[in-house]
Structure 1
Amino acid sequence: MTSSDISSGNWLTPPHHRSGLHRVEDVISCATVARGDAPVRGLQCTRNPLDWDLLTVPGPEGRPIRAAEFLARTHTDGILVLRGDTVIGERYFGEFTSASRHIVMSLSKSFAGMLAGVLASAGLLEPDAAVPAYVPELAGGSYAGATVGQLLDMTAAPHYDMSYLEPTAEVHVGDRAAGWRPRRPGDVVGIRPFLSRLRGAGRHGAGFQYCSGTTDVLAWVLERAGGAGYGELMRRHVWSWIGAEDDAFVTVDDHGTPYACAGMGMRLRDLARFGRLVLDDGWREGTAVLPADWIARTRRGGDFATTAESDAAAGGTYKNQWWIPGDDHGSFYGVGIFGQYLWLDPRTDVVIAKFSATDEPVAGTPAVLDALGAISRAAAEIPQEG
């Protein structure tokens, strides 16, 4: 499939998404999140890498399968396993390469969560403040009674349907507002006009409600708190500090507003570098880039169990735009539809970054999470090289 076969009308639709997810910049308006001038963080390769053909992981039917079969079943574009600064395993498939950039979908939310931590640590963002204190434009809508902390933990309760396969659901209307899908008559043009028109809500803070619109409200709040555009804040406080090889990007609507809930994209190795920074408690070469106490609170998890209807397996929690599965390794992760993952295992000191193009949009299934956990444990058993 060539670039000319991908369009704004099909890039999210199987099988076109197999190319569309790493050709987003060809069909959707994007803004650059610059890497800056910092030296690239070097990654070394082990002499004893993971053998994907021998390694076994839990399979979807409850029987062990080879890791290579897991990668094929989940339509992997690329996977990288990092322990410290050592690459324990790395593979790319099809036309996707180490130099390709891939959209990370809702894994973008986890970037927003860390940016919020930076602003909160600097005294610019108050999690207990009401949303309209930062964005008065939302005083009459679904988020009027929510706090910033409730945005972060997905306990705000707007009337918002996240059914990915239902074209009339708000998640699809939001995609069309953002320019991700062809618009229909009567559609709102622009992410923030769409958010401003949302009406009705349940009881904020009463339970978990995963909602992409909630992250875009958070991004609006972060812009007002940080005094700059979202992409610039991300560059200034996060992306320019990780030692990235390349710029990242974020899709933007007709007004230039970033689609913060799902629109970021980057190289696989740079996603792993971001994960390394988080797993290192936010420290990079003696500098506290991300606040360690924010990361610690994130790892402890949220107050409410996630649900099977969400993108993550039931039984975990959600905190600061990250998923906390509650396993015995204290793992936490970001995830996006079609199988985008950033898996962090504090016990093994392993980061797993994975880009995929699964047939179904759902992600975070128990079988996949179990497989990532198994890969992490296998990587920890490979002897460290001196």
Structure 2
Amino acid sequence: MSTTHGPGLEREFAPGEVNLSNWQDPPWNTWGLSHTSEIVPTAVVSRLARSDDVAETSLACADDPTWVELAEATAARSLVVLHRGRTVGEWYGAGMCPTTRHTLMSVSKSLCGLVIGQLIGQGLLREDSVIGEIVPRLKKSAFGEATIRNALDMRVAVEYDETYHDPAAHVAQQDRVAGWRPRLPDDPADTYEFLTTLRASGPHGGPLQYCSATTDALAWVIEAVTGQRYHEALSTRLWSRLRTQDDAGITVDPGGFAFANGGFACTTRDLARVGQLLLDRGVVDGHQVVPEAFAADVLAGGDAVAAAGSHFQAVHEGGSYRSQWWVTGDDHGVVYGAGIHGQYLWVDPEAEVVVAKFGAHPEAVSAEALRQNAALMRWSVARHSR
């Protein structure tokens, strides 16, 4: 028997009980999200060389009843808090530990945004570059006339239904194509083909349309510009330059396309380093990994009018979306990456705090879950920045 734990619970699953059909669904996701590579083909995102920097770890708050209560209310699996780059708080639910790799879901999008920013800084891309001119196979798709900036800010108008748990939605078909669910006979062969089937629904550059496929179009751009597979570009251009302690992984489909919009997996400690990179305006150990101007632009936020009426603004009034990051517009200037079922990377510039969190919430997403997670993040910031 393999044993899995969620916050405050312990559950045993028989071998093979967690499988391709159910690993994202409760209660199996408490095991599936931290063992994705055992279910879905996964490529290594190498750190190349192990960091000599072993994070200072304080478990002083692991038994703080308020922190644990808030964590369990959000179905948290792990939490790591950095203050001014130093680990000041760390908590793991049952079945998790510092070396456990957990799938980021849509926090993966934020990493893709950073790589695009690096390519822009190097002059290999422009924000006004047209995607169809970079990737000819996408010319007739929804992305053919969209610019890099349109895609970064999720303002590509595309016929795409992102309704989770609806088997008829585009996002469900994309999951099947990516190898995340059992395939159906008429599904496209791989993500490359899937992206070419999507069609525009109107002019680009208008309202925010959160669409997972848009991030994968950006990943295809990265492949076209660098000549590398996306997982290789992530390794050489980002992951290996963050002084990460462990290799990461990303799921790949039958065509070798890495699932940029949600398939990345890493440890909680290493995820926090991504947030620290943004907090430090793209600098790691004195080296500019992501252009300062790009990082500052993310932190400054996007067009709040474009995000009007979104579920995000129901929780963060005046919030926006910029370069694959959510921007709260609050008095701390908080930005964050977020993934379904409770994945978070919270960056608070005012408090100089980063909070990385993995979760296995039974719901994919809801306004109430957003509120609960925001409360957990803000309490974590206040508790650990004293």
Is TM-score (shorter-chain normalized) higher than 0.5?
A: yes
Whether 2:352 is the aligned partner of 1:341: answer no
CA contact (8 A) 1:28 1:180 kept: yes
Q: How far 1:275 moved relative to its partner?
A: 1.4
CA contact (8 A) 1:131 1:145 kept: yes
Alignment match, 1:238: 238
Alignment of 1:254-269 (within 5 A): 254-269=254-269
Alignment of 1:2-13 (within 5 A): 2=13, 4-13=16-25
Alignment partners' CA distance in 2, 1:41 and 1:151: 35
CA contact (8 A) 1:342 1:353 kept: yes
Q: How far 1:121 moved relative to its partner?
A: 0.3
Q: How far 1:51 moved relative to its partner?
A: 6.2
Alignment partners' CA distance in 1, 2:312 and 2:42: 27
- Corresponding residue to 2:61 among 47, 50, 74: 50
Whether 2:28 is the aligned partner of 1:23: answer no
Q: How far 1:334 moved relative to its partner?
A: 0.3
Alignment match, 2:310: 308
Alignment partners' CA distance in 2, 1:121 and 1:159: 31
Gaps of 5+ in 2: 1-11
Alignment of 1:1-386 (within 5 A): 1-2=12-13, 4-46=16-58, 49-50=60-61, 53-54=64-65, 66-303=66-303, 304-305=306-307, 307-309=309-311, 313=315, 315=317, 316-362=319-365, 365-381=370-386
CA contact (8 A) 1:253 1:259 kept: yes
CA contact (8 A) 1:143 1:201 kept: no
Which letter maps to 2:271? L
Alignment partners' CA distance in 2, 1:126 and 1:183: 37
Aligned residue pair count:
369
Range moving further from structure 2, 258-267 or 268-277 = 268-277
Which letter maps to 1:277? L
Report % sequence identity: 37
Give the TM-score, by structure 1 length.
Answer: 0.91
Alignment partners' CA distance in 2, 1:310 and 1:84: 28
Alignment partners' CA distance in 2, 1:113 and 1:96: 28
| 1:335-385 superposed Cα distances (whole Å, 9 cap, x missing partner) | 10000000010111111000000010016612321331222122111xxxx
* RMSD across aligned positions (CA): 1.8
Which letter maps to 1:330? G
Alignment match, 2:4: none
Q: How far 1:188 moved relative to its partner?
A: 1.5
Which letter maps to 1:327? D
Which letter maps to 1:369? A
Q: How far 1:205 moved relative to its partner?
A: 0.4
SS in 2 for 1:111: helix
Which letter maps to 2:381? S
CA contact (8 A) 2:307 2:313 kept: no
Q: How far 1:240 moved relative to its partner?
A: 0.3
CA contact (8 A) 1:129 1:147 kept: yes
Q: How far 1:144 moved relative to its partner?
A: 1.9
Alignment partners' CA distance in 1, 2:80 and 2:189: 37
Range moving further from structure 2, 143-152 or 207-216 = 143-152
Give the TM-score, by structure 2 length.
Answer: 0.91
